């Protein structure tokens, strides 16, 4: 069993270098027969609080942050797709908020361990934006099309208890036990045949990497278009100011 820990407390914001480092770690474990399962955990208050747009004042006319590559966030999705192509089972220890791309990262895992304090949130529409990181594939696959649409359309925060009830979380424990519970589940998985695990996981997950790649192509087109709007700027500013946005539809 291997542990991958995100160490950007307190919020563990989501960006290309972070996803690249996680992908490199996962790929290295594919070459180690002694590692049969992976725990993805994080330091700090949040599991991963998504992208840091700040107050929106530094966004350019394309809706990009300083030094963010263009067009859109294509390099992010190239790195992200690597995560879906690795072979070993992954257990996410989601002890706090998993927001936006952070939720997308949690959905890479085969299983999610949560607690009452966990908050799963796809807040893209609240930002005047479109879901990304393959969430339009991964979230419906776990909770169903209607519940996924409800999460997307409302941008609501789903508590740990709610997530467990809908199958978004597979284990629910007190917050201080989240990591240990994830390690215990990964250890239970690791007691089994490494060849059998990889083969069975490939069958169960099927062509998810290809479906996510196709989905992110479309997600990127929509995100790139919507980033240029006044609504996106207003959404980012409103989230920063902790108020309801005043969207104008332009």
pLDDT digits (tens, 9 = 90+) for 13-66: 988 999 999 999 999 999 999 999 999 999 999 999 998 876 556 666 665 656
Residue 78 lies in a domain: yes
Helix, strand, or coil (residue 130): coil
- How many of the other CB atoms lie within 10 Å of CB of 147? 17
In a domain, 182, yes or no: no
As a whole number of angstroms, the distance between CA 91 and CA 1 comes to 10
Unique residue bearing structure tokens 């060849």:
195
In a domain, 96, yes or no: yes
- Cis before 10 (ω within 30): yes
Do the domain assignments include residue 205?
yes
Round the CA-based radius of gyration of the chain to a whole number and report it: 18
Into how many domains does the chain fold? Answer: 1
Query: Under DSSP, is residue 123 helix (H, G, I), strand (E, B) or coil?
Result: coil
With beta carbons less than 8 A apart as the criterion, state whether 155 and 135 touch. Answer: no
Whole-number Å distance between alpha carbons of 46 and 130: 22
Task: At 181, list the tokens.
Answer: 């519970």
122 sits in the region (left: phi over 0; alpha: psi -120 to 50; else beta) called: beta
The Cα–Cα gap between 83 and 24 comes to: 9
* Residue 224 located in a structural domain: yes
Q: Identify any residues that bridge with 41 across adjacent strands, giving them in sequence order.
A: 5
Is residue 145 domain-resident? yes
Q: Alpha-carbon dihedral of residues 61, 67, 68, 70, nearest 10 degrees?
A: 70
Residue 83 inside a domain? The answer is yes
> Helix, strand, or coil here: 83?
helix
113, 115, 117, 123: CA torsion to nearest 10 = 30
> What pLDDT score does 53 carry?
75
Residue with tokens 């997600």: 219
**What integer pLDDT is reported at residue 63 of this predicted model?**
57
pLDDT under 50: residue ranges of the chain: none
2 closest CA partner among 201, 203, 189: 189
Q: Domain range spanning residue 69? A: 2-177+190-240
Give 159's strand partners.
Answer: 119
> Which CATH number characterizes residue 158's domain?
3.90.226.10
**Dist. CA 1–CA 112, nearest whole Å:** 16
- What is the arrangement of strands in the sheet containing 119-121, beginning at the earlier edge strand? 97-99, 119-121, 157-159
Q: Please tell me what DSSP assigns to residue 118.
A: -
Which pair of tokens denotes residue 27? 């790929």
User: In the prediction, which pLDDT does 65 show?
Assistant: 59
Within a domain: residue 184? no
pLDDT for 72 equals: 52
Tell me the C-alpha distance between 200 and 185, whole Å: 17
């Amino acid at each position: 069993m291997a542990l991958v820990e995100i160490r950007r407390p307190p919020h563990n914001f989501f960006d290309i270098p972070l996803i690249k480092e996680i992908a490199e770690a996962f790929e290295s474990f594919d070459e180690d027969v002694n590692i049969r399962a992976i725990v993805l955990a994080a330091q700090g208050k949040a599991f991963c609080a998504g992208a840091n747009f700040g107050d929106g004042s530094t966004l350019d006319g394309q809706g990009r942050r300083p030094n963010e590559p263009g067009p859109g966030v294509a390099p992010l999705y190239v790195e992200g797709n690597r995560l879906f192509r690795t072979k070993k089972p992954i257990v996410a220890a989601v002890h706090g908020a998993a927001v936006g791309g952070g939720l997308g990262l949690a959905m890479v895992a085969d299983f999610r361990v949560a607690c009452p304090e966990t908050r799963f949130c796809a807040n893209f529409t609240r930002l005047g934006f479109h879901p990304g990181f393959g969430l339009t594939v991964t979230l419906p696959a776990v909770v169903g099309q209607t519940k996924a649409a409800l999460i997307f359309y409302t941008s609501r925060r789903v508590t740990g208890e709610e997530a467990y009830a809908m199958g978004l979380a597979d284990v629910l424990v007190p917050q201080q036990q989240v990591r240990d519970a994830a390690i215990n589940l990964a250890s239970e998985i690791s007691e089994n045949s490494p060849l059998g695990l990889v083969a069975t996981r490939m069958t169960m997950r099927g062509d998810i990497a290809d479906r996510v790649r196709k989905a992110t192509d479309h997600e990127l087109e929509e995100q790139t278009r919507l980033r240029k709007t006044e609504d996106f700027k207003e959404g980012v500013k409103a989230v920063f100011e902790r108020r309801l946005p005043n969207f104008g539809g332009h």
